[in-house]
């Protein structure tokens, strides 16, 4: 996915109220931007760090700029816009780059399903080889050594989604949890036991029951972001 307009390099002053951050441009102008990421953004939101933002050029928006990338001291980029994750995974699947998900003729998004009133991120249908496939996407930004980890905060909603996928599998369909790792400085993925033990144990249980898990790592630049490499999952 290419960004529609060039990203702007700014310095983070502070992040607050979950959705907002104050930044300073290279010319010294200070203003407030929006962030779609409601997580803790561990290691990605340090005051004084470099971040990259997009400009909607929409004067009707209260905060017309959005936080897209964080630049770490190492120079590595991390994609913090959770709103991109579904698009990146959809783009990957449609391109045929995920062999076990390439047989479907139809893809729908945000489809209501489940006994707990959820919405599935991607629903793959009309395959001659497989039953319908329910794909739940999670954006991953946190890191522990060589591992990308998820979640970065306790997520009751994420645990609910795992239960819904297990129920889908129990009724004869496919359920997939897809970890979209928006950073290139990791080699593998694991659930964050130290942050959310319940999510970790639930993930282990539903995978044992037939839910499929994928983790793909992104290649990120200020011009584009795309998923290019599957990485192993360790439970």
Q: Domain residues of the chain, as ranges?
A: 8-79, 82-230
Q: Provide CB contacts within 8 A for 143, sequence distance 6+.
A: 42, 43, 149, 183, 185, 186
Query: Average of pLDDT values for 189-201?
Result: 98
Strand pairing of 65-71 and 77-79? antiparallel
- Residue 5 has a pLDDT of 86
In this model, does residue 61 exceed pLDDT 90?
yes
Quote the distance between the C-alpha of residue 129 and its chain's center. 28
Half-sphere exposure of 131 (CA within 13 A, CB side): 10
- Residue 6 has a pLDDT of 87
Query: Average of pLDDT values for 126-152?
Result: 96
Query: Average of pLDDT values for 151-169?
Result: 96
Residue 116 to residue 97: CA distance in whole angstroms: 31
**Which is nearest to 98 in space by CA: 210, 215, 203?**
215
Mean pLDDT of the chain: 96
What are 55's strand-pairing partners?
Answer: 65
What pTM was estimated for this model as a whole?
Answer: 0.94
**Which is nearest to 122 in space by CA: 153, 168, 81, 78?**
168
Give me the architecture of the 82-230 domain, per CATH.
3-Layer(aba) Sandwich (3.40)
In this model, does residue 65 exceed pLDDT 90?
yes
Contact indicator for 116, 159 with CB cutoff of 8 Å: no
% of the chain beyond a pLDDT of 70: 100
Residue 105 to residue 59: CA distance in whole angstroms: 39
Quote the distance between the C-alpha of residue 63 and its chain's center. 22
Strand pairing of 142-144 and 147-150? antiparallel
pLDDT tens digit sequence for 84-115: 999 999 999 999 999 999 999 999 999 999 88
Q: Where are the beta strands (DSSP E) in the chain?
A: 8-16, 20-25, 30-34, 50-55, 65-71, 77-79, 106-113, 118-125, 133-140, 142-144, 147-150, 174-181, 188-191, 212-220, 225-230
Residue 159, classed as helix, strand or coil, is helix
- Residue 13 has a pLDDT of 98
CATH of 8-79, one of 3.40.30.10, 2.40.50.580, 3.40.710.10, 3.30.70.980: 2.40.50.580
- Residue 100 has a pLDDT of 95
């Amino acid at each position: 996915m290419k960004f529609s307009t060039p990203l702007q390099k700014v310095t983070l002053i502070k992040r607050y109220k979950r959705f907002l951050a104050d930044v300073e441009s290279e010319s010294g102008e200070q203003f407030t931007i929006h962030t779609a990421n409601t997580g803790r953004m561990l290691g990605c939101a340090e005051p004084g760090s470099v971040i990259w933002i997009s400009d909607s050029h929409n004067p009707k928006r209260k905060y017309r700029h959005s936080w897209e990338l964080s630049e770490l001291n190492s120079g590595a980029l991390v994609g913090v816009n959770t709103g991109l994750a579904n698009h990146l995974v959809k783009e990957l699947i449609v391109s045929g780059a995920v062999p076990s998900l390439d047989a479907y003729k139809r893809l729908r998004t945000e489809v209501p399903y489940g006994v707990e009133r959820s919405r599935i991120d991607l629903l793959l249908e009309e395959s001659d080889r497989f039953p319908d496939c329910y794909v739940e996407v999670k954006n991953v930004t946190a890191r522990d050594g060589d591992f990308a980890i998820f979640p970065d905060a306790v997520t009751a909603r994420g645990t609910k989604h795992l239960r819904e996928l297990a129920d889908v599998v129990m009724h004869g369909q496919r359920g997939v949890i897809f970890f979209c790792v928006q950073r290139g400085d990791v080699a593998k993925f694991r659930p964050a036991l130290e942050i959310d033990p319940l999510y970790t144990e639930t993930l282990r249980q539903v995978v044992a029951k037939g839910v499929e898990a994928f983790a793909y790592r992104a290649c990120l630049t200020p011009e584009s972001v795309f998923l290019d490499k599957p990485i192993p999952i360790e439970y």
